[in-house]
Structure 1
C-alpha cells in the first residue's frame, strides 16, 4: 500500500484539478538525454504524468500540490532495465508543493467533487506501489486519481485525442 511522504491540507471547495506531463527521469548521460528529447518531440508514450491540485482557498492558504507515481529510484540503471524488460519494480507515490502551475504541458481537467486533499489521501493509501510500465504506472495512477477527484474516466485518452 502507498504512503504519502507529506500530508497536504487544502480547504474544502471547488479545488481545480490539472494533469501535467514532464520528461521521464533516467540515469544521467545518454538515457537522460533521450528522455528529454522524447519529451521535447511530444512523444506521448515517453512522458511522465501527474495530477496537480490548485486550492480554491484564497491566499495565503492557496496551494498548488502535485501527486504522482514513479519508481522508487527512477535514475537507477537496473530499475530502467527491469522496467524495459516488463518486470515489476518498487514504486512510490509522491506528494509535494509547487509554487505555481507548470507553464507548458499542463491541462485543466475540472473541479474536485469534494475536498481534493482528502480524496487524494484516501486514493494514495489504497494505491498498490508495485510499478509495471504499461500495466500499472503513472498513467494508471493519473487516470485513477482524476476519476476519483472529478468523475472523469480515462482523462489521458481524452487529452491525447484532442491533440494536447
Structure 2
C-alpha cells in the first residue's frame, strides 16, 4: 500500500490509529452505466470515483472500519439522474468492518489525534445526509473526516496533485 504523502507505517504508533483514504468505482445500474463507471475508474478519473476513509485501530484484535457517504440507493437510475442534475437527494453514512485493507487505490494519510473510531462516529452524528454532487458528496465527507481525524486539510486535492 503505497502512500503518496507518507510512507506506510512500519509499526503502529502507540495510541494512534492509522488513517487511510481509498477509492472505488461509483456504483451504477447494471449495463452501460456500470461499464462507464468502471471505465472511468480504470482511467483514474478522480471526479468519477467514490472516496471513503478507513481507520485501522492500533489494537491488534480490532478490525479496520470503513466510513463513507453515498446516496441511499446508488444503483437507482432516478437517483443517478437527480445526482447528475445536481438536485439534493437522500444520502446515508455507512460504517463497515474490513477484514483487510484494499491492495490498490488506498493511501495511508496519517495517524488520528484521538480514538479514530470514536472521532469518526461523532463526525457522522453531525454530518448532514442530504447529498448534492459537487457541493456535499463523498469528497467533502472524506476531506472533512480526515481533517477531524488527523488535522490534514484538503486531503483529496493533495492526493490528486501528488498522483500527477
SS in 1 for 2:163: coil
**Deviating runs (4+, > 4 A) in structure 1?**
none
Structure-1 separation of matches of 2:142 and 2:91 = 14
Gaps of 5+ in 1: 1-11
Q: Measure how far apart 1:64 and its partner are.
A: 1.0
Structure-2 separation of matches of 1:127 and 1:146 = 13
Structure-2 separation of matches of 1:57 and 1:74 = 33
Gaps of 5+ in 2: 1-13
**2:116 matches 1:116:** yes
Structure-2 separation of matches of 1:13 and 1:117 = 12
**What does residue 103 of structure 1 align with?**
103
Q: Measure how far apart 1:62 and its partner are.
A: 2.6
Structure-2 separation of matches of 1:13 and 1:53 = 13
Q: How many pairs does the alignment contain?
A: 151
**2:20 matches 1:18:** yes
Structure-1 separation of matches of 2:160 and 2:96 = 26
SS in 2 for 1:136: coil
Correspondences of 1:1-164 after superposition (within 5 Å): 13-58=15-60, 61-163=61-163
**What does residue 4 of structure 1 align with?**
none
SS in 2 for 1:25: coil
Structure-1 separation of matches of 2:117 and 2:25 = 25
TM-score (norm 1): 0.90
Structure-2 separation of matches of 1:84 and 1:62 = 38
